Amino acid sequence: MSAGADQQGGGELPDGESRYFNRELSWLAFNQRVLAEAGNLEYPLLERLRFLSISGSNLDEFVMVRVAGLAGQVRRQIEEISIDGLTPSQQLAAIHQTVLELETAQQDSWQELKGLLAREGLTIIGNERLDARRERWMKDYFLEHLMPVITPQAIDPAHPFPFVANQGMGILFSLTRVADNAPVMEMVLIPSALPRFVRLPGDEAVYISVEDLLCRHAELLFPGFRLHGHGVFRVLRDSDIEIEEDAEDLVRYYRSAIQRRRRGQVIVLQLQGEIDPAAEDLLRNQLGLDRALVIKTGGLIGINGLSAIVDEDRPELKFEPYSPRYPERILEHDGDCFAAIREKDIVIQHPYETFEVVIDFLRQAAADPDVVAIKQTLYRAGKQSAVISALIAAAEAGKSVTAVVELKARFDEEQNLLWASQLERAGVQVIYGFVDWKTHAKVSLVVRREGEGYRTYCHFGTGNYHPVTARIYTDLSYFTADPKMAHDASRLFNFITGYVEPKKMEMLAISPIGLREKLYECIDAEIANARQGKPAMIWAKMNSLTDPDLIDRLYAASQAGVLVTLVVRGICCLRPGVAGLSENITVKSIIGRFLEHSRIWAFASGLELPNRRARVFITSADGMSRNLDRRVELLVPLRNRTVHDQVLGQVMLANLLDTEQSWILGPDGIYRRVGPSDNPFNLHRYFMTNPSLSGRGASLASGRKVPKLSLRRGNI
């Protein structure tokens, strides 16, 4: 089912279709594009397997959060209508159908890749018989590594049904006790600490899933029983955490909520193999399935677990290794970040340029005796965070360090609690922000004593301070010592730490108190330009676009004659290309080796006038209601000419020009790959092979130059 196709409601068009696409179905369409990369013949085989694994992980999270939320609305009889006019029940029905189709496509992809991998000497076995040496090794492994940690449990009145944790996997065995011929049902829950796939020893790579290894040695687990059948199952539960308005202690609340998450309502039950009907009924009853989706497959459950096989050391089956460049501008100043920033603003694009420069900025601040204060927001920092280490070092060196740690970062709550505790022990002033709003802005502020006064250096980012995702997410880092930017950044921190709402901002715009209005002002200016016959264009790049008011503003721009080109990687509820509504809007999605994550807005601003340039902004916010109304976000104008031209004339334009990794969204809600082009262009290859934004140098090989921006409809 294509996202949003043939849905009703939400502000009708003449043909009865909605003005908007459904958010959940649009997300599923995005994951279908991710899965399509598993079939991309241009990619090495293990990279295709990686995309399959990612599609499985994405789908798990979607079920545990979005589907769980709709199921909760249905249980509580909340009839909240979606942007396209559907009730929660109607959305669940459409989602279930699409999820089943996606699951089937994943299994088909797995069977294809499994066969191709075997041809390359990388085999995944099930119940096939191997030579005596390997059979003996598997038996020994079972006895030494699995048998001590698993606990078979009979399911009868004397043995209550065990708790199955979120994402937990188990096996139900149907048996007969030889002594009295009595039927017995036994359950084995697979501990999460066990590896999902076990590699057999030898030069040839042979893997077996832990569940298949358990099943093929069931006779060792159940001596004195006859085995009739078995079935593997997996459970996905509601994993969202909702903040209660009367939560007095946010830290204590989250510690408790993380534990409750394990016991959330079952949303999906996955079944693999020829499971006994009685065993299936038992699972359905004991797990308390209420409107849960039951997915049966003869293939593999827990597709995300295939990431373990991707780690196999076969470089010829993976992308050519890529080493990010270090910004030459900073190297020219002997690695002194402050000297380089003081000379001129710098913009850096990750992962093509290393995230290490952001770490070095903080490390230098921690070690510099002239630095007196550091303020830092932390949304997701990862498990091995050099950022945390730098902040701790700064505090231990006697500097004033403030860290805004966001506890509400989904699935990172526990890690962020750990970081907050370590930071507090080191003397860092830890702030948890707002109870109702997430602090999603990416800001680092360093105050340094220089001469008779102080200078403030700022880092603004579109992505998290996370060293792992910074290697695979495309994001922008902007360094500046502009005093106006610094004043606004200080006001932002005062707003978060002391609820001191800024009366006036000189350059930055903050949500939820002005960012939306700033975007509207810029869109309205383009509408006015179009009506006056001036060049009127909007270019924007984001991860998701779901806010109906922002979409309506873009519709109004299209109707006024403004040419709008949007690069939206994931969810897009805007319906482009509809006559009289959005015929001047084009939407594309880019899926490739790196995950497109940077957020950019650019407005033509009547470019034919002398000395006028497009208005360009980077932001931490997507085009979603939560970002504009319920999160603390930043919109940062790029006034420095060099930085402005780099972001607009290189980063944004390269996204518009890409043909090899791009999908175009049609008015019918279907995404179609960009076809063959006379001038093929690969966004990721270009930035991997061309000079960095902040200096000269190249990586991998030489690539073609990006042409200068052309104010034509054909910018895509």
**Which residues are marked as active site?**
440
Phi, psi of 713 (to 5 degrees): -60, -30
Give Cα 233 to chain centroid, integer Å.
26
Dist CA 86 CA 10 (whole Å)? 8
Q: What is the DSSP letter of 574?
A: B
Dist CA 319 CA 332 (whole Å)? 31
Contact in structure between 575 and 18 (CB atoms under 8 Å): yes
Report the candidate in 270, 312, 260 with the shortest Cα–Cα distance to residue 295.
Answer: 270
Contacts of residue 646, defined as CB under 8 A and 6 or more positions apart, other chains included, come to 347, 693
Q: How many CB atoms are closer than 10 A to CB 435? A: 15
DSSP string covering 677-691: -SS---HHHHHHHS-
Dist CA 655 CA 541 (whole Å)? 8
The two structure tokens encoding residue 697: 């140098």
Dist CA 116 CA 106 (whole Å)? 15
Dist CA 438 CA 66 (whole Å)? 18
Distance (Å) of CA 524 to CA 518, 538, 553, 672:
10, 11, 8, 31
**Which residue is it, tokens 């001038």?**
679
Dist CA 600 CA 592 (whole Å)? 19
Phi, psi of 265 (to 5 degrees): -60, 135
The two structure tokens encoding residue 199: 């590699």
The two structure tokens encoding residue 396: 């231990």
